[in-house]
Amino acid sequence: MAVTIDMQLMRYINLFAKTTRVETTKVFVYNNQIIFAVPKAKVSIAIGKGAANVKKLNDILRKKIKIVAMPAVDSNEGIGKFVEEVVSPVEFNKVEVKENSVVVNAGRQSKAALIGRNRMREKELGDVLRNFFHITKLRIA
């Protein structure tokens, strides 16, 4: 399943590339913030000295920007770390990755924050995992 990039996401990608000089095709919106996933070796370049690039993008787009490292598709602990970076500052106990499913174990408050009103956060995270890692099932326990 290929990721569909609409015009708005394409504009974000182009602005990100011009500002940071780092190429990426992995961009998505989670919890009203724009998240760019870049190769692990280029995260510090993308953030910039003193987070200058992130601040500049925040000012231009007037939205919160987050830059995370993109793990390998087959790395289970990498996928767990990716989920942890995307949903932060919400904390949870652990992430279990099994074949085509992910189980996130969290406490009561964290579970509510991960699910969101009308299950919006859960749907957003499920879409991200499906598009980038081909994970079909997300469960928050």
**Domain match, 83 and 51 both:** no
Cβ-contact 47, 54 below 8 angstroms: yes
The pLDDT score that the predictor gives to residue 6 is 87
Rounded-to-integer distance, Cα 100 and Cα 137, Å: 7
Q: Which domain holds residue 86?
A: 76-140
The closest of 23, 55, 50, 52 to 39, measured between CA atoms, is: 23
**How does residue 2 score in pLDDT terms, banded at 50, 70 and 90?**
low
**Domain match, 89 and 65 both:** no
Q: For the chain, how many structural domains are there in total?
A: 2
Count of CB atoms within 10 A of residue 20's CB?
A: 22
**Domain match, 55 and 13 both:** yes
Q: Residue 63 carries which DSSP code? A: S
Which of residues 23, 55, 70 is at a domain's end? 70
101-134 residue pLDDT tens: 999 999 999 999 999 999 999 999 999 999 888 8
The pLDDT score that the predictor gives to residue 77 is 86
Count of CB atoms within 10 A of residue 74's CB?
A: 8
78-104 residue pLDDT tens: 898 999 999 989 988 999 998 889 999
**Taking residues 53-74, what's their average pLDDT?**
92
